[in-house]
Amino acid sequence: MRFLFKFLSLLSFCFVISCGKSDTGAGKGQGPIEGSFTQNETIMVDGSNIKGIYSADLFPINNNLQLKKVGVAAVKRKGDIFTVKVKIKYGQIDTVLKQAIYTGRRCPDINDDLNKDAFIDIQEALIAIGKITIPLDSNIESQQAGLDEYPIGDAVSGGYFYKMNTSFSKMFADLKNSDEDPYDNIVKLKKKGGLTFPGRVVLLQGLHESIFLPDTAATTENESKHTTIPIACGVLWKVNKFPKEIQEGR
């Protein structure tokens, strides 16, 4: 009987330990896998709350266009150096992919297909993703300087590796500048506001012109529906290191 009591006590202890263990990072769902990091940052007006690494797995939005995990995205702040990396394994061949970090906190899903045409277009996606905070283009120091200069998928798989470094203080100062066009889809931070990455959306747009899209697929002004159709999305969460696809050595 004493042996049985000790055995049950040990079993209970092991159960508690195993339930308490978990990995850092995020899965395909909307929330992070609990780990050693808190995902609830206190927003600071000087951006001092942002430090370390935040990453997102990028999954297809329209499964009738693509089924496999598309790639990963990550941002890192260390001192005044701000780094962005995006690794796309399955993209769009010879096609520009627009990429940006948005204010929204969830990726679009089938419930956002309001016209029930089996395609989530950009107008439907905007309900979930909000507005652009940081365009991941050729110049992340400024919201406007690098617009329309995005990565292009290679001729084999549509993949690419994007890496950009800038001064965090300069980028943050640009985000605090006055909004010269309050009616576009790029938003500035409020003077007494700040920025936080956990729970923020990364969205990719762009589909090869040869792929069918219905007439009901909406777009934005002066852009083709193939240019703006959402391809992949992920939610950033704080992690302890870059994903293996984009380790420090890359």
Residue with tokens 């991941």: 136
Give the model's pLDDT for residue 9.
42
Residue with tokens 């999954």: 59
Give the model's pLDDT for residue 38.
74
- Name, in order, each residue with C-beta under 8 angstroms of 107's C-beta and a sequence gap of 6 or more: 30, 59, 61, 128, 129, 201, 203, 233, 234, 235
- Extents of the domains making up the chain: 52-246
Computed over every residue of the chain, the mean pLDDT equals 86
pLDDT at 121 over 60: yes
The token pair at 193 is 């506001």
Write 223-226 long-range contacts (CB < 8 A, 24+): 225/121
Q: What is the pLDDT of residues 160-184, one digit of tens each?
A: 999 999 999 999 999 999 998 888 9
Identify whether the C-beta of residue 84 lies closer than 8 Å to the C-beta of residue 75. yes
Domain made up of 52-246: CATH architecture: Sandwich (2.60)
Give the model's pLDDT for residue 3.
39
